[in-house]
């Protein structure tokens, strides 16, 4: 099966945003952005929800973006595909097309769907030095999942990247 990695930047209180329409570029470090670009290019494909894609708004170089949507797809763009398939079907389709990895890139509902179905192999979580108090949680709608810490890396003087493996 295709290797699936969840990539997220989170506040120190576990939020991926203060509000649904907020771009992570508003509050994350340039080092996290550099990591995100490098790791998603390695994967070759990014899977995200419509709201997350709208915060980006355009195709990204050297990566296929698969946008999960319940309704109609958005504006046709090269390098962007819209789908209403279930997570497992999306991964099966990508694998049949030769992809070996997929990066799950948000938002909260999409992360939760992949976690609930046991489809996440590894997580990369950048913890940024900010507390939102309220906002969008990392993920919703799944049961407890245990993780093994593979490593931790200081991205700069303030941000830490945690790399976990999901315990089967």
pLDDT at residue 109, as a whole number: 95
**pLDDT reading at 41 higher than 90:** yes
The model scores a pTM over 0.75: yes
Spatial CB neighbours of 161, under 8 Å, sequence gap ≥ 6: 32, 35, 124, 125, 126, 127, 152, 153, 154, 155
Structure tokens at 31: 């080092």
Domain span at residue 158 reads 3-166
- The CATH number for 158's domain is 3.40.430.10
Structure tokens at 117: 């179905």
- Cβ-based burial of 50 (10 A; exposed 0-12, middle 13-18, buried ≥19): middle
Which residues does residue 68 pair with via DSSP β-bridges, in sequence order? 49, 83
Which tens digit of pLDDT belongs to each residue from 81-91?
999 999 999 99
Domains contained in the chain, number = 1
């Amino acid at each position: 099966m295709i290797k699936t990695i969840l990539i997220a930047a989170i506040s120190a209180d576990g939020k991926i945003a203060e509000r649904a329409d907020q771009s992570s570029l508003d509050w994350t470090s340039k080092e996290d952005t550099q990591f995100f670009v490098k790791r998603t290019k390695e994967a070759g494909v990014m899977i995200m929800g419509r709201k997350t894609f709208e915060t980006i708004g355009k195709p990204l170089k050297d990566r296929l973006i698969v946008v999960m949507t319940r309704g109609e797809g958005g504006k046709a763009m090269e390098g962007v595909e819209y789908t209403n398939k279930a997570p497992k079907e999306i991964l099966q389709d990508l694998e049949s097309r030769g992809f070996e990895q997929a990066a799950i890139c948000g938002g909260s509902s999409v992360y939760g769907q992949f976690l609930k179905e046991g489809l996440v192999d590894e997580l990369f979580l950048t913890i940024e030095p900010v507390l939102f108090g309220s906002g969008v949680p990392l993920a919703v709608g799944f049961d407890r999942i245990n993780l093994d810490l593979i490593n931790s890396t200081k991205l700069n003087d303030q941000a830490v990247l945690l790399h976990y493996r999901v315990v089967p």
